[in-house]
């Protein structure tokens, strides 16, 4: 019978690979690994569970036993996956509806739990993730600010710019200038 491990601090595809590696290195048969979760073919015994927990912790991950912590981590993973790896410009529904559907729980209960646990709202967490994604896209320099706003589901460049300045204290163009000033072409070194 398979068992699900809930794992904190998984934020990217590399984390998924590392968790899979750790579990397989500990002799587990891994059916699936996604952000925040690993499905094992069988439940490990107490000794194996302790080894797994220790090995994961050495890599910066934490096994979650508490249902509330698992739910909060699932919220975070959904937001991270959606903002960083999804297509926000194609979203037809708002985050609250999608989150409710994904976790099969009432959004108000999810919101209350998240706020109590994280001292922040889900909305604030979404904004933080979106701003980090904007920074990443600005650093890459492949998209215009209009394209970034559209890609991340902002209603306008002005909305994106206002939110960016509120969070970072900088306008997107000033942030981009700072990034460019820090980098020197290889032929100028």
Segment 49-97, tens digit of pLDDT: 999 999 999 999 999 988 999 999 999 999 999 998 887 777 777 889 9
Contact 33, 61 (CB under 8 A): no
> Between 1.10.10.60, 3.40.50.300, 1.10.3720.10, 1.20.1440.230, what CATH number should domain 69-180 receive?
1.10.10.60
β-pairing verdict for 62-64 and 3-8: antiparallel
Written as six digits, the tokens of 158 are 């002005």
CATH 3.30.70.100 location in the chain: 3-65
Name the band, by pLDDT with cuts 50, 70 and 90, for residue 129.
very high
- For residue 96, give Cα distances in angstroms to 99, 109, 112, 132, 155: 5, 11, 13, 20, 17
How does residue 188 score in pLDDT terms, banded at 50, 70 and 90?
A: low
pLDDT digits (tens, 9 = 90+) for 158-184: 999 999 999 999 999 899 888 665 545
Number of alpha carbons in the 13 Å side-chain half-sphere of residue 43: 4
Q: At residue 189, does pLDDT exceed 70? A: no
Cβ atoms within 10 Å, residue 75 = 25
3-65 is classed in which CATH architecture? 2-Layer Sandwich (3.30)
In the chain, which residues fall in CATH 1.10.10.60? Answer: 69-180
Q: Which DSSP state fits 186?
A: G
User: What's the pTM value of the predicted model, to 2 decimals?
Assistant: 0.76
Neighbours of 99 (CB within 10 A): 22
Residue range 30-46, pLDDT digits in tens = 999 999 999 999 999 99
Using an 8 Å Cβ cutoff, are 38 and 4 in contact? yes
């Amino acid at each position: 019978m398979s068992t699900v491990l809930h794992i904190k601090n998984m934020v990217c595809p590399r984390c998924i690979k590392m968790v899979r590696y750790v579990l397989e290195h500990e002799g587990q048969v891994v059916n699936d690994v996604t952000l925040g979760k690993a499905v094992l073919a069988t439940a490990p015994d107490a000794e194996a569970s302790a080894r797994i927990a220790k090995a994961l912790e050495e890599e910066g991950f934490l096994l979650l036993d508490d249902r509330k912590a698992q739910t909060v981590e699932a919220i975070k993973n959904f937001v991270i996956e959606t903002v960083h790896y999804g297509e926000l410009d194609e979203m037809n529904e708002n985050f609250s509806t999608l989150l409710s559907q994904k976790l099969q729980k009432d959004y108000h209960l999810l919101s209350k739990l998240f706020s109590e646990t994280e001292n922040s709202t889900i909305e604030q967490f979404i904004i933080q993730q979106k701003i980090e994604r904007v920074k990443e896209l600005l650093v890459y320099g492949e998209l215009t600010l209009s394209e970034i706003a559209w890609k991340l589901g902002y209603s306008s460049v002005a909305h994106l710019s206002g939110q960016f300045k509120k969070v970072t204290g900088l306008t997107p163009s000033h942030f981009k200038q700072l990034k460019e000033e820090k980098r020197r072409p290889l032929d100028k070194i």
